[in-house]
């Protein structure tokens, strides 16, 4: 017996919480900041929803503004995206610390 599923799920998953924008400072003599954030949460009507973010939490972010793109994908392949900003501020005098 062959069972054919005629159900086609076109409903997008829902990101229930997208992280807010983040602003951090670098440590002295470092041009990056290690940034940790809670990934978004998402739900869907077709089973498990997988969420991935780029760059991921616990990454080193360079000085300046970086957009983090998070994508939630359900088991039917439907996806939705949320974005937030990570703004890393350098400490004044960071360049002079590297001059010998």
Distance, CA of 41 to CA of 82 (rounded, Å): 11
27, 89 contact by CB (below 8 A): no
- What average pLDDT does the chain have? 86
Residue-wise pLDDT for 31-74, tens only, equals 899 999 999 999 988 788 999 999 999 999 999 999 999 999 99
DSSP string spanning 5-45? ------PPPEEEE-PPPEEEEPPTT-SEEEE--PPPEEE-S
pTM of the model: 0.80
Average pLDDT over residues 9-29: 90
CATH superfamily of domain region 14-92 = Immunoglobulins (2.60.40.10)
Cis bond before residue 55 (omega within 30° of 0)? yes
Domain ranges, ordered by start, for the chain: 14-92
Average pLDDT over residues 1-9: 60
């Amino acid at each position: 017996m062959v069972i054919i599923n005629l159900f086609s799920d076109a409903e997008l998953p829902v990101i229930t919480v997208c992280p807010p924008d983040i602003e951090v400072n670098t440590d002295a003599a470092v041009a990056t900041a290690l940034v940790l954030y809670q990934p978004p949460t998402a739900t869907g009507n077709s089973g498990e929803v997988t969420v991935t973010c780029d760059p991921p939490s616990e990454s080193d972010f360079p000085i300046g503004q970086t957009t983090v793109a998070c994508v939630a994908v359900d088991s039917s392949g439907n996806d939705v995206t949320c974005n937030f900003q990570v703004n890393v501020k350098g400490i004044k005098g960071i360049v002079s610390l590297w001059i010998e």
